[in-house]
Structure 1
Amino acid sequence: MTQTYAQIQKKIAALQKSADALREREVVGVVARIKTAIEHYGLTAQQLGFGAPGGTANASINRGNKAVRGGRAEKFSDGNGNTWGGMGKRPYWLRDALAAGKSLEDFRTGTVADVAPKSAAKKAKSKKRRRSTVIYRDGAGNSWSGRGPQPRWLKDALAGGKTLGDLKG
């Protein structure tokens, strides 16, 4: 049976009305469950992302919880809720601002002074490297410590009939 445009529009309107009523009933249930959870956990509006400038609900929750951020201090902030701890790739908001002519110092927060002395000492300590000892040499001045993949000169020498014992030295 062929339906007219008007009949289909009438069915669409009826279905839309039915969908709106069903959605309203579901929303009432969802709101009740959310209110129960808020009361149970004692959540605040700020934790839920309300009243936090420029952020989403998840971003504001993560910013307020040091355990989620791994306990790192926020070293850089743009004042709009965007922060960066100085580890990993620079976030896009900071890259864009730097490309627009701002300097990194414009975004530095006050927590850096607390963290900087520890990290500077840690970096100085990690700079010390143990020198690798040379175990194998050839006559042309090439050497290999015996660690890591064999260099091409050593592979060529071994393929040419020499042994590691011949190159020891």
Structure 2
Amino acid sequence: MAQTFKQIQKQIEQLQKQAEALRNTEVKGVIERIKVAIAHYGLTAAHLGLESRASTSKRTRATGSKGANARAAFADGDGNAWSGRGPRPRWLRDALASGRSLAEFRAGVSAASAAPAQAVGATKPAKPARKLKRAPSKVTYRDDAGHSWTGRGPKPGWLKAELDAGKSLQDFLR
């Protein structure tokens, strides 16, 4: 028997309600898993890219034209950050006054593994020394086919083959 337009509309409404109920159930499960992951990894709104524009623009104005040089050295996980320059912000002063240590707020360090705080403005660790360039080799071994070897590193295949054939290194010194 053919259905009327109204009957089909009712079925659509019922199916939409069922779909919405299923979606809500699935969303609750997803949200629970996300909350567990956030708690496990200690993620913040900034990590997830959910920081509001107002707090971002406030921070940009506060750092002025320093921009890339004024990275957040201290943060509280609630979106408050301080580069370590200038006077300490109120949120940090209040936290320190309540007995917390500066090391707890150091960016990239969890509160449980916070190391003893270094003085703000302390010198940075020295960069590793650059690798010095070698002086050019004083000898070069060459064959008639255009192969060459400086005497540094392992012997190349062409030279090994020639040495196995009875020649000496002196034969290739040019």
Task: Give the structure-2-normalised TM-score.
Answer: 0.34
More helix as a share of residues:
1
Q: Choose 1 or 2 for highest CA Rg.
A: 2
